[in-house]
Amino acid sequence: MQHNVFILIGFIEIALSIFMQWQNYVSNNIKTFSIQSWILGIFLMYFGVLNNNISIIILSILTILTRAIFIPRYLINTINKQIFRARENKHKVSVSLSILISVLLAIFSYILYTLVFFEFGKSLISIPITLMLQGAFLIMSRSNAYAQLIGYLVMENSMFLLSFLFNGLPFIVEAGIILDILGIVMIGGILMKIRDEDIQKEEELYG
Amino acid sequence: MLFYLSIAQLLYVIILSPLAIGILNFFNERLSSRGGPSIFQEYYNLFKYFKKQSIYPESSSIFFAYVPYMSFAMYLFLTLVLPIITAFPLTFGPVVDFVGGGLVFGAASTLIKLSALDSRNNYSILGASRSSSIGIFTEPVILLIFIMLGVISGTNNPYVINNIMQTSTSWYYSLVHLFIALAFLFVLIIEIGQLPIESNSLNELGSIDTLLIHEYSGRELALLKWGSYIKQFILMNVFLNVYTWPFFVPMKLSLISIFFYMFINFFKIIILLIIFAFINSMVSKYRLFKIFDYIAIAFSFTLLAMLVFYITTSGG
Amino acid sequence: MIYTLPALFATIGSILCFIGFRKKERTVSVFTSLLSLISSIFILFSKNYSSSYFYVDNLSKIFSLMIAIVYFGVVIFSIEYISNIKERFIKVYQYFMLLNIFVAAMFFSVILNNLGLIWVGIEATTFSSALLVAVENDFTALEAAWRYIIIVSVGLVISLIATLFLYSACDTLSIFKLLTIKPTGSLFLLGAILLIIGYGTKAGIFPMNTWLADAHGKSPAPVSAIFSAVLLPVSLYPIIRLFQINHNILLSEFAFILGFLSVATASIMSLNQTLYKRLFAYSSIENMGLALIGISLGSYALFGAIVLIFAHAFAKSGIFMLTGNILHNYKSKKIEDINGIIKTMPHTGLFLFFGSLAVTGAPPSAIFFGEFLILSKTIDLYGWLIGSILISFVGCGFLFINYKVINMVFSGQRKKAIKESNFTLVPIINITLSILTFISLPFLYRFLQGVIK
């Protein structure tokens, strides 16, 4: 049963991150990320209740509070102050190509599983790996700072799914990770307010 | 008995398909707060076309005159082989499977494109090139969908697929099925010609289907229009009866249940049309060249379905 | 707990800068950094310690001492330097607050007993230092800070996966337990490889080293100094622990290849650098690559790597502070605009020359000794061919960097001397310390005998 729920959750997350590739509007991306985190948090809570594990329940509440509520709200607030960044006009990679690439990443990670991870058991490992690669691809294929930050957060979400397949990290480490992500998002938000995107050819950053 | 049922199915499709499109147009207009045409408007249109005189361009060959009849016949043939009001094969059922049906669809649309080229009208040629450039991308998706259904059911027979979907809840509630159905919905929306670029309309960048039959008039135009209504009606039926909502389709020969199912089926289609009308009025139209993003999404869903199949079956 | 004292002092300093002492942030910071320096010297003479949260051995003590010395120097140098930057991105008290919390995170990272918590500490250094990079407040600085934060975070996600794998392979993340159970197995190996890639990102190791030159080139001089001198070694610290836990042949070769490629890219890239801070940033990449090679080879090469890290910290922090002086007086970041420093600023010029010699491994310095150990072990293990290629890359780096520095320092017309700030004494002391490290090598070796096998 848990197996099936995991597959369901994993593929919904993958489909949502493909949806992110499709979007031009950053606020839609942020909302999609929020939905992803909600699903993840609810799944975690379900798992915790099922196994009567208090620390996982606390973790799920923390996840929902930070990733699903606070971070999206914070990002949307920053984006409302500079509305001209809300839409990314020029994609480095065209949208249909990036959608196809992110699907091919899913297949690639399945192949990766058959080559590298098969001795660690479950074929489900390829789901979090897919999400992680898709997050990394989102970072690489966009020049908008918000989209890049969302890509990083997707990678972190996939980390949660992955830790569910393995033993899971100790509670104190997970709590520390959440704190760190909050820090990254806050600092990233401060930087993004002023950062200009068309600075690729600056001489001082060359070589 | 089966033979009479086949004829009943044929009449069902021929008669109701303009009504379905009329209802869709009606909903579309009502949702944009306009009065909207009568739901029988398409019948009036067809009747009007039949009364008018046919004119052929001077530059066209004799092929041009035959294409409407041929394509209409092909669509009629398709109604005989797909599960529309029954879930057991009728007289002509064993003739083709899904792939064969797809080929017949492709043949009909190819004929129409050829006739458009034959008419030597610039607009028709534009329409032909647009619709083939979209078709190049949609057809692999459709093929992949068929392959995935074949993987699920072990066959390409639409009747068998329907029976499996009706009886096996594990397949019906599987992610594979969900992703295939989603992908087919995406393709269906393109084929119905509503979204994402509104290929049925007359606006400059969206018109594709209307451009293809630009030079026809009179009875030929009526047949082509009717043929396209039948095509859309069949596709909606396939979507409902095979992919998403296979329930209630009578699996045994029983006249009463078939009779009731005719009404249930049309009711299902009306619900689908309402959904389409809502999508039409809520989602903004795409530019012509953005359609490939949209098709890429459909393609990615089918690939994901394949991946889910592998992940779930290869020893979890 | 005496071992947490340096970190606690830095944290207290950061809190005080934020609350209550906003006008006196400089005094507070100097005071706390002095205290943490004193306490880390005191730690040097206390016993090893391990509990469920802390694991302190001689390696941690050496790292603490290194961080504390550089921290003290950087705080003192910042006092004047930060006032000279116009249109700062953050206020002065925020600068000192972030600097203190950044150093506190590094102090914590080297004494913790849990690989997961070490990850948390190192990630904390990322976001606490990102705003420090952007102090100069132009678009390039912001872009550099953004690249730093996003590339390093992605790299650290990889090391987080590695941590997860290690945990599920060994059922514990405690370094103390891992050292006793000596884990093996393919999941452990996979985790270890990912760990090297992940922390290597932050240390400027080859595949993801692109952020390093940007961040070092655009951040203000004291921040570049503390980045290059301590942040990169602290990121190598978990890798050192990893090789202590399990010195696997495969892992060792993998790390060697990464280190080798870093040395190669850095030495080649340093040829066409036009900005002097980026030049020294590439020199840092080269040194970190060599240190990774040393760590991967183990035994006396590990000692060489630690010596290299230790001496490099002082020399490179000194050099970066001196570049701050040059930037302040010449108002240019380009190498071609700078000439005759020896005439205009005699102390800066002379010690920039000494420092660059020391950093590139000229014979009297301790870095030479470290490089010598590493290279000889390389030749010992991998043969003359690979050894000589590595030596030629190091030699190329030596030539390119020193050629440019000599051009900057000695060439050019006679110019009027500029009065140097009194704080130039800090980098001078640092560079002198790095050269004097040579004398302390026997003590260092005896001190590290538990670490090096």
Alpha-helical regions (H) of C171-220: 175-181, 186-203, 210-218
For A136-148, b/e burial (b = at least 16 CB within 10 A) is bbbbebbebbbbb
B33 burial level (CB within 10 Å; 0-12, 13-18, 19+): exposed
User: Residue C297's Cα: distance from chain center in Å?
Assistant: 20
8 Å CB contact between C237 and C280:
no
pLDDT confidence of C69, banded at 50, 70, 90? very high
Q: Phi, psi at residue C422, to the nearest 5°?
A: -65, -20
Task: Give the list of residues 6+ apart from residue B163 with CB closer than 8 angstroms, or none.
Answer: B87, B251
Give the C-alpha separation, B79 to B58, whole Å: 34
**Does any CB of chain C come closer than 8 Å to the CB of residue A97?**
no
Give the C-alpha separation, C354 to C362, whole Å: 9
Per-chain mean pLDDT for chain A: 84
Identify the DSSP state of C297.
Answer: H
**Cβ within 8 Å, pair B297-A3:** no
What are the distances in angstroms from CA B306 to CA B150, B286, B311, C111? 11, 28, 9, 49
Domain of residue C408, residue span: 248-453
Closest CA to C36 of C122, C103, C112, C132: C103
Task: Give the list of residues 6+ apart from residue B40 with CB closer than 8 angstroms, or none.
Answer: B19, B22
**How many domains does chain B contain in total?**
1
Residue A77 lies in a domain: yes
How many Cβ atoms from other residues are within 10 Å of residue C213's Cβ? 27
pLDDT at C165 > cutoff 70? yes
Residue A181 lies in a domain: no
* Angle ∠(C250,C255,C258) on CA atoms, nearest 5: 130
pLDDT confidence of A111, banded at 50, 70, 90? confident
Facing residue for B311 by CB, picked from A97, A102, A126 = A126
Residues of chain A with C-beta less than 8 angstroms from the C-beta of B297:
18, 22, 99
**Cβ within 8 Å, pair A99-B293:** yes
- End-to-end CA separation in angstroms for chain C: 29
Tokens read off for C316: 């490179």
3-state helix, strand, coil in chain C (%, to 5): 80, 0, 20
Give the C-alpha separation, C197 to C266, whole Å: 17
Closest CA to B162 of B246, B96, B236: B246
Q: What's the pLDDT tens digit per position in C285-322?
A: 999 999 999 999 988 899 999 999 999 999 999 999 99
pLDDT at A124 > cutoff 90? no
Residue A205 lies in a domain: no
Q: Which ipTM value was assigned to this complex?
A: 0.90
Alpha-helical regions (H) of B154-254: 158-167, 169-172, 175-192, 209-212, 218-238
8 Å CB contact between C315 and C386:
no
Per-chain mean pLDDT for chain C: 89
Q: Which amino acid is at C354?
A: F
Residues of chain B with C-beta less than 8 angstroms from the C-beta of A103:
299-300, 303-304
**Cβ within 8 Å, pair C143-A192:** no
**Cβ within 8 Å, pair C139-A195:** yes
Chains that touch C (3 or more CB pairs under 8 A): A
Residue A172 lies in a domain: no
Give the C-alpha separation, B301 to A15, whole Å: 8
Give the C-alpha separation, B53 to B220, whole Å: 10
Q: Which residues of chain B have pLDDT under 70?
A: 194-206, 314-316
User: For residue B316, what pLDDT is reported?
Assistant: 43
B170 burial level (CB within 10 Å; 0-12, 13-18, 19+): exposed
Identify the DSSP state of C48.
Answer: P
DSSP letters along B44-61, please?
A: HHHHHHHHSPP---TT--
Hey, of C101, C127, C170, which one would you mutate to test binding to chain A, going by the most A CBs within 10 A of its CB?
C127
pLDDT at C100 > cutoff 70? yes
Residue C410 lies in a domain: yes
8 Å CB contact between C424 and C222:
no
* Angle ∠(C240,C245,C251) on CA atoms, nearest 5: 70
Residue A203 lies in a domain: no
pLDDT at A207 > cutoff 80? no
Q: Where are the strands (E) in C121-248, listed by range? A: none
**How many domains does chain C contain in total?**
1
Residues of chain A with C-beta less than 8 angstroms from the C-beta of C275:
204
Domain of residue B10, residue span: 2-313
8 Å CB contact between C307 and C366:
yes
Residues of chain B with C-beta less than 8 angstroms from the C-beta of A97:
296
**Does any CB of chain A come closer than 8 Å to the CB of residue B308?**
yes
**Does any CB of chain B come closer than 8 Å to the CB of residue A122?**
yes
Alpha-helical regions (H) of chain B: 2-31, 41-51, 63-81, 98-118, 122-153, 158-167, 169-172, 175-192, 209-212, 218-238, 255-282, 291-313
Evaluated on CA atoms C166, C170, C173, C177, the torsion sign reads negative
**Does any CB of chain C come closer than 8 Å to the CB of residue A198?**
no
| B104: Cα within 13 Å, side-chain hemisphere | 21
Closest CA to C296 of C249, C232, C233, C235: C249
8 Å CB contact between C205 and C259:
yes
Residue C283 lies in a domain: yes
Residue A158 lies in a domain: yes
User: For residue C399, what pLDDT is reported?
Assistant: 92
User: For residue A205, what pLDDT is reported?
Assistant: 67
Residue A184 lies in a domain: no
| Rounded average pLDDT over C367-376 | 92
Q: Phi, psi at residue C171, to the nearest 5°?
A: 65, 10
User: For residue A200, what pLDDT is reported?
Assistant: 55
User: Residue B137's Cα: distance from chain center in Å?
Assistant: 16
In DSSP terms, C50 is beta-bridged to C55
In DSSP terms, C112 is beta-bridged to C54
DSSP letters along C59-90, please?
A: HHHHHHHHHHHHHHHHHHHHHHHHHH-SS-SS
What are the distances in angstroms from CA A45 to CA A39, A147, B48, C421? 10, 28, 64, 60
Tokens read off for C115: 């690989």
Tokens read off for C384: 């003359």
Domain of residue A19, residue span: 2-83+94-166+189-194
d(CA B45, nearest CA chain A) in Å: 39
Task: Give the list of residues 6+ apart from residue A48 with CB closer than 8 angstroms, or none.
Answer: A54, A55, A56, A57, A59, A60
For A96-133, b/e burial (b = at least 16 CB within 10 A) is bebbbbbbebbbebbebbeeebeebebbbbbbbbbbbb
Give the C-alpha separation, B39 to B27, whole Å: 9
d(CA A206, nearest CA chain B) in Å: 34
Q: Which amino acid is at A47?
A: F
- Check residues A201 and B295 and name the one with the higher pLDDT: B295
pLDDT at C386 > cutoff 50? yes
8 Å CB contact between C46 and C2:
yes
Residue C312 lies in a domain: yes
- Check residues C308 and C2 and name the one with the higher pLDDT: C308
User: For residue A120, what pLDDT is reported?
Assistant: 66
Q: What's the pLDDT tens digit per position in C194-246?
A: 999 999 999 989 888 889 988 998 899 999 999 999 999 999 999 999 998 88
pLDDT confidence of A8, banded at 50, 70, 90? confident
Please state, for a pLDDT cut of 70, what percent of chain C lies above it. Answer: 100
Give the C-alpha separation, C453 to C450, whole Å: 7
Q: Which amino acid is at B161?
A: I
pLDDT at A198 > cutoff 60? no
How many Cβ atoms from other residues are within 10 Å of residue C23's Cβ? 10
How many Cβ atoms from other residues are within 10 Å of residue A37's Cβ? 24
8 Å CB contact between A134 and A102:
yes
Q: Do B and A touch (≥3 CB pairs < 8 Å)?
A: yes
Lowest mean pLDDT among A2-11, A71-80, C281-290, C425-434: A2-11
**Does any CB of chain C come closer than 8 Å to the CB of residue A188?**
yes
Give the C-alpha separation, B80 to B13, whole Å: 10
